[in-house]
Amino acid sequence: GPRPWHAVCAAAMDESPPMRTNGFERPFHPFQVTSWIVFGTDVLIYLICVFSLIDHGVKMVLAPFYIGTVVLLVAATAQATRSNAADPHVILQADSAMQIEEDDSMPFCGLCNVPVYPRSKHCRVCSKCVDIFDHHCMWINNCVGRANYKSFFVTISSVALMIGTVLGTCIFLIIAYFTDEEAFEQRLLDTPVLGELPKETFLGLLLTISALNVPLFV
């Protein structure tokens, strides 16, 4: 029969927000939208203002690597965001609209009103139990668990590679500026987009990009 404390959980269930399926469900989290804007802007500024100053031979190697990290970041983030990390019993009950039979060998979540795996944990933001719960990530507006842990790891790794490339390029150009200002100025003149930009202004841009990307990298 039903457990005595089911009635106690009923009020909490009624007050709980509706269950979120994935991170693309609205409302979007402000951190999630911010990450789209920041990384999108970062890519555009790097390709237009920074990448164009690199020697042609280096570009041939760096271009596919950098673009590859960006594509990998977008694909992995989309996968991690759209995954439903809920415990399979929660998904089964939601899809079938039927009461799952209780199993005394498994923990019971009174909020989801269903037995769940021992390593599942209820996320109050998503209003569901997550299979092998790791944490709720505001940047993807979704829980990280068994279903999307690998794609989330790829997301973090690709961010590190992408930001590392940006910082490495900026550091190289900053060193070039201070070691040979004439050669650096010639780099600017040889670039159609940046030819009329004073080298001091571009140095400020490099320092700003580096300052903004360091916190993202560490």
Active-site residues, by number, are 137
Among residues 77, 79, 86, 64, the alpha carbon closest in space to that of 20 is found at 86
d(CA 116, CA 210): 46
d(CA 121, CA 21): 15
Among residues 163, 197, 86, the alpha carbon closest in space to that of 131 is found at 86
Across the chain, the runs of DSSP E, i.e. the strands, are 108-109, 114-115, 121-123, 128-130, 135-137, 142-144
What is the DSSP track for 148-181?
THHHHHHHHHHHHHHHHHHHHHHHHHHHHHHH-H
For strands 135-137 and 142-144, give the pairing: antiparallel
Among residues 41, 39, 23, 29, the alpha carbon closest in space to that of 159 is found at 39
Helix (H) or strand (E) holding 215: helix 199-217
